[in-house]
Structure 1
Amino acid sequence: MTASPKERTPADMPHRDIVREGESLILRLSGSWRTNRPFPDPAPVLAALAATPPPKSLGFDTAGVTGWDSLFLTHCRALLALAGQYRVAVDFSGLPPGVERLLDLARKVPERQGAARTAKQAPFFERLGDLGLAAYQALINLLDFVGDVTLACLALLRGKAVFQRSGLASLIYQASVEALPIVSLISLLVGLILAFVGAIQLSQFGAQIYVSTIVGIAMVRVMGAIMTGIIMAGRTGAAYAAELGTMQVNEEIDALRTFGFSPTQFLVLPRLIALVLMMPLLCVYADLMGIVGGFIVGVFMLKINPVQYLTHTWQSVPLANFWIGLIHSTVFGVLVAMAGCYRGMRCGRSALAVGQATTSAVVTSILAIIIATAVITVACNIIGV
């Protein structure tokens, strides 16, 4: 049996002796291990664990400990972490009973999602496999959610869907009237930008009047719907994800299931209805504001007659473009509502998870809007409209 040299320490100061007994490493602790006293450096323990031959077990002798607090518990956890790095078994029987129970409780509590990890990064193929499994599970969850929403819509058509009508009215107000200021500003600026860029090029050929055509077709056919969809994704879709995510954290969704209510009908369906109804109206309003932006540039910058500008806009924008824009906006309403509610319903049980769900809802909505725009554009090109 060998022991490290004892250090001269004042009375009642925390002290540690490292004793090697065969294949076991014993830490003899004495003194008062409290916050207001300096603790011994753990480096000698690390060196003893890394010695050759390595110990197979780590034990404690705390008969000389006169007092301890939470910092002593933290110190013990740090020592246990060192032992885990070298795969050394730990015997807790020598610790004070209170410390042993607290350490056992700390081991049973799972690590919170997002907490810092010190473990080494997994191999590449293991991470690739985990990514594949996560993608597969995400697809299953998405199909399950879409199926629930489909059943809720069928229940609505049969008149058996259960949700608060007053809540639907509030959601419609939030997705329409409250969204008008930001939709007005963004659409007006987009119209100004389109007209300004077009004016720079068309003025070289003396064809400034065609600025009205560029702004009118671009806004009515696709830009009004896209800008409205992106605005609603960042405003309303994120709000849906945050609201439902907070309800998930507070176990309100579980309470609805306990009382026999369908969370999809009670929470998701009203939000889906509100956006599907309001997105086409907001799109028409955004089209008008974009045309107003182009009108400002055409009249005040290019000196085009106001009546001539409006007449040319009316004549150069086919009615088919208006219906295509409405189709875009309706699809975007479905996608934004579905993305926001899906991320909220699948949120974790922590404040961090709510933030992640909100961010994911916005990113998913915008990505879905871009993909849907490409699909609708190709489909319109195939059918010749």
Structure 2
Amino acid sequence: MASDRDTRQWRLATHPLETSNLEITFSGRWCLDQRLPSPDDLAPVLKTGTSRLTFKTDLSSWDSAFLAYLSVLLKLCAAKGIEADRDGLPEGVRHLLAMAAAVPEQKITGRGGGRHNFLHRIGVAAVEFSHGAPAMLRFLGEIVFSFGRLLSGRVRLRWHDLWWEVEEVGPRALLIVSVISFLVGLILAYLGADQLRMVGAQIFIADLVAIGMVREIGALMTGIIIAGRTGSAFAAKLGTMQVNEEIDAFRTLGISPIDFLVLPRTIALMLMVPLLTLYSGFVGMLAGLLISTTIFDIGLFEYYNETISALELKHFAVGLVKGSVYGAMVAYSGCLRGMQCGRSAEAVGEAATSAVVTSILLITISASILTIIFYQLGI
């Protein structure tokens, strides 16, 4: 029983040798630019009684199309329990097929991965937290020890890198901080005016905007802006260094990555975010002044005097403390996720996203705790 397929470029023929043996002959060009047969066409030929398959070749040229054909054919033989003798194939073909068989096929599950119920997701989150919390505490301890080495003069730190980070997280962030703070001050002024107008006390818009921006909202908005702008950049930079094995190189040379990479970024944010907070409060008060004098007919000097009488030194102190804490939270989150980054480009993106989420979460928790502490202290 034989089956023949002919064109001008290739030829495939099957020849029954014995009752249980079958020989397949390949000839001509077996290349991608040819219209080649499908391996499934041989399924009827590979009957149940066939136990052994041999090959004979008279090829003028071949490429990956021939390898793909043979690969599918060999899998078909394995499924039917037929022994395939590869001795008749060219040496290069046998070598490539052996290499392909040596590497197991990767099973990529994909991003969907099936849906899980609510309890399953809670369990996964709890397990991840139980594994991540010790790592976060360990990283926090390393930063604390690094500050200790800084105070004792034993830290290996390039001051040029510190001033570069100060410029990056401070002056270059003024534009976005200005825009957001102005808009937030404007919103506060309109919100306060809408309520205070009912009792004829629109002059207290100045108190609301001044205290709100200097004490609370200025620091909070600055922290969130820096988390999205700088925290994600820290995670992406350190994550890329992790992918390129630069951090491993630091450890090999006996240089602490915490001292050399994390400490300058933490100091820069702890120094600059409080100053940005003061600047944010000032811009927010300018927005309130503009709205009050142009929309609600409040005099310029009246607004100024009310602002001066409303602000106290403790309000500035609270804003500076919160700004410093928020800066530390952003630096901690960005550097932590960057140092925990995997070894792929996708992992760098995930690290940047996780840094922003962690920063905002820690800022919110810190804001709640500090507000309670200052309230209890009467500040």
Q: TM-score range by the shorter chain?
A: 0.7 to 0.9
Match of 2:180 in 1: 186
Contact 1:172 1:278 in 2 (8 A): yes
Match of 1:331 in 2: 325
- Deviation string 1:235-261 (CA, Å, 9 cap, x unpaired) is 111111111111112211111111110
Compute the displacement of 1:60 (Å): 7.6
Residues 158 and 47 of structure 1, relative CA distance in 2, 3 Å threshold: farther
Letter in 2 for 1:332: Y
Match of 1:242 in 2: 236
Compute the displacement of 1:310 (Å): 1.4
Determine the C-alpha separation between the residues in 2 that align with 1:290 and 1:81: 71
Structure 2: unaligned runs, 5 residues or longer: none
Contact 2:71 2:97 in 1 (8 A): no
Alignment pair present for 1:362 and 2:359: no
Determine the C-alpha separation between the residues in 1 that align with 2:65 and 2:200: 80
Matched ranges for 1:189-228 at <5 A? 189-228=183-222
Compute the displacement of 1:141 (Å): 2.5
- Deviation string 1:83-123 (CA, Å, 9 cap, x unpaired) is 99x8x999896773232244146439x78xxx664997598
Alignment pair present for 1:97 and 2:89: no
Match of 1:342 in 2: 336
Letter in 1 for 2:32: T
Match of 1:265 in 2: 259
Compute the displacement of 1:137 (Å): 2.9
Q: TM-score, normalised by structure 2?
A: 0.81
Q: TM-score, normalised by structure 1?
A: 0.80
Compute the displacement of 1:27 (Å): 11
Match of 1:137 in 2: 131
Letter in 2 for 1:150: V
Moved more, 194-203 or 66-75: 66-75
Determine the C-alpha separation between the residues in 2 that align with 1:355 and 1:27: 54
Compute the displacement of 1:135 (Å): 3.5
Task: State the Cα RMSD in Å.
Answer: 4.1
Match of 1:279 in 2: 273
Determine the C-alpha separation between the residues in 2 that align with 1:293 and 1:249: 45
Residues 28 and 331 of structure 1, relative CA distance in 2, 3 Å threshold: farther
Percent identical across equivalent pairs?
38
Contact 2:5 2:11 in 1 (8 A): no
Determine the C-alpha separation between the residues in 2 that align with 1:324 and 1:359: 29
Determine the C-alpha separation between the residues in 1 that align with 2:366 and 2:203: 32
Letter in 2 for 1:254: D
Query: Which residue among 138, 160, 164 is the counterpart of 1:170?
Result: 164
Structure index of larger Rg: 2
Match of 2:5 in 1: 8
Letter in 1 for 2:263: L
Compute the displacement of 1:327 (Å): 1.7
Instruction: State the secondary structure of the residue aligned to 1:167.
Output: helix
Match of 2:104 in 1: 107
- Deviation string 1:336-377 (CA, Å, 9 cap, x unpaired) is 001111111111222222122111111211122122212222
Moved more, 31-40 or 342-351: 31-40
- How many residue pairs end up in the alignment? 370
Match of 1:36 in 2: 33
Residues 302 and 92 of structure 1, relative CA distance in 2, 3 Å threshold: farther
Letter in 2 for 1:10: T
Contact 2:5 2:13 in 1 (8 A): no
Contact 2:67 2:97 in 1 (8 A): no
Residues 145 and 8 of structure 1, relative CA distance in 2, 3 Å threshold: same
Match of 1:382 in 2: 376
- Deviation string 1:158-205 (CA, Å, 9 cap, x unpaired) is 111111111111111111111111111111111011101222222233
Residues 118 and 185 of structure 1, relative CA distance in 2, 3 Å threshold: closer
